[in-house]
Structure 1
Amino acid sequence: MPARGPSGPWQRLKPVDLDPLESMGLPSKGETRLLDHKNQERYYTKIVERYLSFCSDATDRDALLHKFGSLSIGKERDRSSGTDTSIASGTTASTASTASAASTAPVAPPFPVPTLSQTGTKDLSAVLMALRKLREGIVASKRIDDFATQAYLFNVRTAILVKHSESYHPAILYLLRTIHPKHPLTSFELREVTGYLVLDAACRRGDLADAFALRNRYKLRDAKVDAILQALARDDFIAFGRVKRTVDGHQAKFLEFCEDGLRRHTLKCFGRAYLSVDVPYLEKATGATFLELVERDGVGWHSDGSKVVIRSIKGRS
């Protein structure tokens, strides 16, 4: 019987099961593989496959929307600047290009990783981080073509569904300021992206003046975006709710940023202008049942049959 040779230490180690999306690092941290165009395309294919796998796990539309909604940032927003006031633990600031171009590239803003409220959303979190790596690779390699446009549009649409502004906002700006002047978007893509930029300014940042300025700068002509801006300018929650039922899923995500604030403003108007109001009209005007208004918004009114008593006038003694 032949003698057994000494076993090397590698034979006792369990093979590492590395996620394909995590196999690449950030180009701003020295990763060079994503500077190659072929590697970018292969990496993008893996990202899309992971995203489709995430979507196919949902049994129906409502389940898919719930999965997207379960991925939240969970931080206060700085409306004046449109950026987060804090960053998630373990994340660091990075530059916008590779280390070789670090001397000329500006420092990139912090990129908070979304908070996972369910384990099933881990794939989507990995997709968002992988898209950031791909964006950095495209920028560092100065690639401007159909693939760059497709990758950035996919990034914008995916990040909007989870309301991750740190992903979609810089991608929108790069599409409009860098890619479009050299490799024009189609008229549909341009209207879609500029519409998102206008809605982000109006709904997330609460800056209507900037929203109208962006609308005029890019000559946006979109009836639904115009209706949203008009409803916000008039603080008209009824019109806001009406147009919300007609927009697509991406535009509806922007409306979620300002819906609660607009509802609270409407409730304040009711409190100052009415002694009582019919329950159906109140629920139509606020887009919520009276019980939801009491539990969620903390209104101190009470129901009296078909009416809601807002203020009671005491009789003279």
Structure 2
Amino acid sequence: MSGKWPGSRLKPISDSLEAVGFVSKGDRKLLDHKAQKDYFSKIIERYMGFCARHSEDLNAAWSSLPTSASGDPTKNPPAVLPRSKGKQTAPNSPSPSAELSTLLLSLRKLREAILATASTIPVSFSQRVHVFSVRISIQAKHPPSYFPSLRYLLEKLHSPSHPLPESELKDLFSYLILDYACRQDDLVAAFELRAQARRKHAFQSPIVDRVLTALAHDNWVIFWQIRKEVDSSIRALMNWAEDRVRRHALKAVGSAYLSVGVQWITEGCTGDTGWTWDKLVETEKLGWQKEEDKIIIRKPKPRPQTVSGLK
């Protein structure tokens, strides 16, 4: 005997999503429409599993990818979930960021295959895949996935012969307008797209109007108020402007006040109860001093002393 056990050459378990490659790299598995539908079903199933596994703190799971306003943070995600205090984690279980990376890459493979077979598959299927991809990748804050899909949906897939549902069309226009305004900091493009959508599609959205007005007028109070009222997709897009709005608020407060209450700064300027004064100082490199429950921004200059008997 060679000394090797009969079962020692076990093949590694294959992930059904990762086993499929990109059409652009020569993989032909998704060029068949039935294979595309089956693959999409597996993606949806994996997505449902992701939501179920992280239901206790889904927001944290969605935020697990390193975020970048222009780059692709899904490259080289951590493969294992770090153990956290007070919560048992199965050994070698994938981290939320690894799960999200798999979902986003799988959707990219499917979108690529759909584009390669666009003339032979139903437009409705392409619409479903792209809309699903947009909604997931907005939550994951992954612009390379949602921005091109938004443009493709609104400019190519929505047509008089294959119109998107009115509510879905409104959502997609809202997402793209807010991406221009909040992530790309391009209010001109945002206002132009809103005008175009109003003219061609009778687009109306009080929420989008209020966000654009708040950003145009640097009104951080209204911006934070809106963010508390909207759904998770709109909030995720608004969050791209979070740092910008917070820093403008701090700058405005610093130029207008000598001192303010700690809570007024940590909540009023950030729009979030999760900020502490120490965290804000570290993040924004503030030089203000804290005295009990007040923040001293600057001390008033002492009045010049007058000498008795002199004029």
Q: TM-score, normalised by structure 1?
A: 0.80
Q: Does 1:64 align with 2:23?
A: no
Letter in structure 1 aligned against 2:152: Y
Instruction: Report the CA distance shift for 1:116/1:184 in structure 2 as closer, same or farther (over 3 A).
Output: farther
Instruction: Report the CA distance shift for 1:280/1:53 in structure 2 as closer, same or farther (over 3 A).
Output: closer
Secondary structure of residue in 2 paired with 1:64: helix
Equivalent residues in 2 for 1:296-315 (5 A)? 296-315=283-302
Query: Would the aligned equivalents of 1:144 and 1:183 in 2 still touch at CA under 8 Å?
Result: no
Instruction: Return the match for 1:127 from 84, 98, 103.
Output: 103
Instruction: Report the CA distance shift for 1:11/1:120 in structure 2 as closer, same or farther (over 3 A).
Output: closer
Instruction: Return the match for 1:195 from 166, 170, 174.
Output: 174
Instruction: Return the match for 2:235 from 252, 268, 274.
Output: 252
Distance apart, 1:113 and its partner CA: 2.7
Query: Would the aligned equivalents of 2:137 and 2:145 in 1 still touch at CA under 8 Å?
Result: yes
Letter in structure 2 aligned against 1:120: S
Query: Counterpart in 2 of 1:98?
Result: none
Distance apart, 1:261 and its partner CA: 1.2
Distance apart, 1:149 and its partner CA: 1.3
Q: Does 1:43 align with 2:43?
A: no
Q: Distance in 1 between matches of 2:146 and 2:49?
A: 21
Query: Would the aligned equivalents of 1:27 and 1:137 in 2 still touch at CA under 8 Å?
Result: yes
Query: Would the aligned equivalents of 2:137 and 2:143 in 1 still touch at CA under 8 Å?
Result: yes
Q: Distance in 2 between matches of 1:54 and 1:284?
A: 32
Query: Counterpart in 1 of 2:29?
Result: 33
Aligned-residue Cα RMSD (Å) equals 2.4
Letter in structure 2 aligned against 1:214: L
Instruction: Report the CA distance shift for 1:280/1:15 in structure 2 as closer, same or farther (over 3 A).
Output: closer
Distance apart, 1:14 and its partner CA: 1.8
Across the two proteins, how many residue pairs are aligned to each other? 276
Please, which runs of 5 or more residues in structure 1 have no aligned partner? 5-9, 78-82, 89-111
Q: Distance in 1 between matches of 2:48 and 2:196?
A: 36
Query: Counterpart in 2 of 1:174?
Result: 152
Query: Would the aligned equivalents of 1:72 and 1:116 in 2 still touch at CA under 8 Å?
Result: no
Query: Would the aligned equivalents of 1:135 and 1:152 in 2 still touch at CA under 8 Å?
Result: yes
Query: Would the aligned equivalents of 2:100 and 2:140 in 1 still touch at CA under 8 Å?
Result: no
Please, which runs of 5 or more residues in structure 2 have no aligned partner? 82-93, 306-311
Query: Would the aligned equivalents of 1:275 and 1:311 in 2 still touch at CA under 8 Å?
Result: yes
Query: Would the aligned equivalents of 1:198 and 1:212 in 2 still touch at CA under 8 Å?
Result: yes
| 1:228-275 CA distance string (max 9 Å, x none) | 111111111110110000110011111111111111111111112222
| 1:271-294 CA distance string (max 9 Å, x none) | 122222344543453025544422
Query: Counterpart in 2 of 1:137?
Result: 113
Distance apart, 1:11 and its partner CA: 8.1
Equivalent residues in 2 for 1:78-227 (5 A)? 83-84=70-71, 113=75, 115-116=77-78, 118=81, 119-121=94-96, 122-142=98-118, 143-181=121-159, 182-219=161-198, 220-227=203-210
Distance apart, 1:306 and its partner CA: 4.7
Query: Counterpart in 2 of 1:101?
Result: none
